[in-house]
Amino acid sequence: MDLSSIRQNLSARHEHAQAGGSPGFAPASSMSGRAKSGLLSFLGKPVNWVRRHKRHSCCIIGVLDILDRSVPLDGLVTEISEGGALFRTASTFIFDRRRSPVSLRFADREWRGEIVNVKAEGYGIRLDNLVAIDEIEHIILRYGMPGGPQH
């Protein structure tokens, strides 16, 4: 971030505070394109990232294989969508494995994908191929518990 972007961001924070807003944060709409881009890339999300598929909460026992390490991780699929899933390992440690190719096995199926997000709730996985919504509903009804664990 260059000096002019920092000044612009500080100025926006000051104006926001003067208007009665929180003094520590400027609304995202007041940030310059470069500042927004830097923040989003720091957070690991593409600048124009938008969720395309509705998430479905569930609780399905599964295994996540980190393919480049040949490491199987037991755990739960806690969310699934047409384009991805959220997998929580049974272990207490979650390592930053973004961009790792994976195989996700649960409900007598296997999908390939890539870890795109790592957070306390688990690994966000983007699947290589879309899953039909009726297949998702079938999987949840047959193998999982709708609603999944409470956060």
The answer on pLDDT for 145 being more than 50 is: yes
List the beta bridge partners of residue 103.
65, 112
The stretch 108-125 carries a mean pLDDT of 94
Instruction: Give pTM, 2 decimals.
Output: 0.63
pLDDT tens digits for range 78-101 = 999 999 999 999 987 778 889 999
Q: How far apart are CA 60 and CA 58, in angstroms?
A: 6
Question: Could you tell me the pLDDT band of residue 26, with boundaries at 50, 70 and 90?
Answer: very low
The answer on pLDDT for 49 being more than 70 is: no
Question: Could you tell me the pLDDT band of residue 29, with boundaries at 50, 70 and 90?
Answer: very low
Q: How far apart are CA 69 and CA 49, in angstroms?
A: 28
- Nearest alpha-carbon partner for 46 in 128, 112, 133, 126: 126
